[in-house]
Amino acid sequence: MQKLEVIGGKKISGTIVISGSKNATLPILASTILTNKKITINNIPVVRDVETMAELLKTIGSNVKFDRKKKKIEIYNKKPLKTFAPYYLLKTMRAGVLVLGALLAKYRIAKVSLPGGCAIGSRPIDLHLDALKKMGAKIKIKDGYVHASATKGLRGSNIKFSKISVGATENILIAACFASGESKLRNCAIEPEVEDLIIFLKKIGCKIKRIGKRSLNVLGTNKLKSTTHKVIFDRIEAGTYIIAAALTKGHLKIKNINPKIILTEIKLLNKMGVKITKKKDHIIVNRTESLKNINIVTKPYPGFPTDLQAQIMILMTKADGISTIQENIFENRFMHVSELRRMGAKIEIKGNKAKVFGKSKLNGAELMATDLRASVCLVLAGLIPSSKTIINRIYHLDRGYEKIEKKLLKCGAQIRRLR
């Protein structure tokens, strides 16, 4: 089992180039099931979840060429695909369920494994399934699989999601693009990754119109085109490195981003005392003053992202006074707290609220990563003390962070992978 060793006390300064977004890449890849025209996708992050999605597409017969050096995937489906997505590929990556909408819309039948249990919460897929049923699908859950069929094809429908869900919005949007007739999707997620999927789908000929802040009108079509698309930057990776610089009083240029997409995070970090200069496609992070305490509530976009909650908690341990976090998206997303406490952080948890006491002295320790964002929060924590921190079970980290130790090493961190 691979581990990371971090010896902190060094400033994170220099330049970091942000990768393409994993969470945008995954639904875009799933949606290519709809078309048999040539698709080229650039700015692909070479991370394990993307490898798993590429593997899943290959398993169902998709012709996927992944050029890791050029960060490019080409897909050209000349033959019909299989409609079976097996458990062994969905157990490590929930986003695998995004192939369900596309398979069902295109082939009228699909057998897709229920995604594996996830540490951060129960994460059901009821919203996905209810919407597909409304579109005419018959759905049975048997032996851990979703068995779905729509013998006459999916039909356009009026769907109002009872809760804002990124995955359900993406899955149903993809399905609606190939269904017969018109769909109205309401209470949709408007995360930048959903927007990137919409841009991609429109490029291949899907007919999508925004008719309100969270409402979409989709007219199904089966006339799809070839296209080339560049995936949007990873805003969570960008936020993580802003925090790394802020934590260590570094001076960091963060490149290949659009600062307008992360204004909530920038404003909040400004409030804490982190100076961030915004340019067209990069930002410069500088922290010289002491950090102020802050209160955060995680919300769907444009609110503060749950995927950055664990990282900001580390910064709070260094601020003046008491900061608070209310986690509103996932019920079990404070698993990093017990590990941070082992380093000396003082954090109290009550339900979905955390109270973080500032000016904690953190010491190096041997730690266990529990999920993707919790893993990176432990890496950030390791950047603080000049003693050694060992992070075990880092396969979670490799699911979503491209070359993290190389990027940090180049900016002055003392970090290495122990095999």
- Nearer to ligand UD1 by C-beta: 398 or 413? 398
Query: Cβ of residue 234: shortest distance to ligand UD1, in angstroms?
Result: 11
Query: Cβ of residue 46: shortest distance to ligand UD1, in angstroms?
Result: 16
- Nearer to ligand UD1 by C-beta: 161 or 319? 161
∠ CA 12-26-256, rounded to 5°: 35
Given a contact cutoff of 8 angstroms between Cβ atoms, the answer to whether 201 and 173 are in contact is yes
* Helix/strand/coil for 388: strand
Strand partners, 324: 295, 355
Asked if the peptide bond before residue 115 counts as cis, ω within 30 degrees of 0, the response is: no
Query: Cβ of residue 108: shortest distance to ligand UD1, in angstroms?
Result: 22
Q: How many Cα atoms within 13 Å fall on the side-chain side of residue 103?
A: 25
- Nearer to ligand UD1 by C-beta: 135 or 329? 329
- Nearer to ligand UD1 by C-beta: 129 or 246? 129
Query: Cβ of residue 306: shortest distance to ligand UD1, in angstroms?
Result: 5
Q: Which pair of structure tokens corresponds to residue 374?
A: 């919790």
Query: Cβ of residue 288: shortest distance to ligand UD1, in angstroms?
Result: 32
Query: Cβ of residue 133: shortest distance to ligand UD1, in angstroms?
Result: 12
Q: Which residue has 């802040």 as its token pair? A: 213
Given a contact cutoff of 8 angstroms between Cβ atoms, the answer to whether 269 and 246 are in contact is yes
118 is catalytic: yes
Cα of first residue to Cα of last residue in the chain, in angstroms, is 7
Residue 57's φ and ψ, nearest 5 degrees, are -65, -40
CB atoms under 10 Å from CB of 78, counted, come to 9
Residue 253's φ and ψ, nearest 5 degrees, are -95, 125
- Nearer to ligand UD1 by C-beta: 107 or 301? 301
- Which residues lie near ligand UD1 (CB under 6 A)? 23, 26, 94-95, 121, 123-128, 163, 165-168, 189, 193, 306-307, 329-330
- Torsion sign, CA atoms 34, 37, 42, 48: positive
Residues 342, 339: Cα–Cα separation, whole Å: 5
Residues 224, 202: Cα–Cα separation, whole Å: 9
Query: From residue 4, how far is each of 1, 244, 372, 391, 414 by CA, in Å?
Result: 10, 16, 14, 5, 10
- Nearer to ligand UD1 by C-beta: 6 or 265? 265
The catalytically annotated residue of 118, 177, 188, 411 is: 118
Active site residues: 118
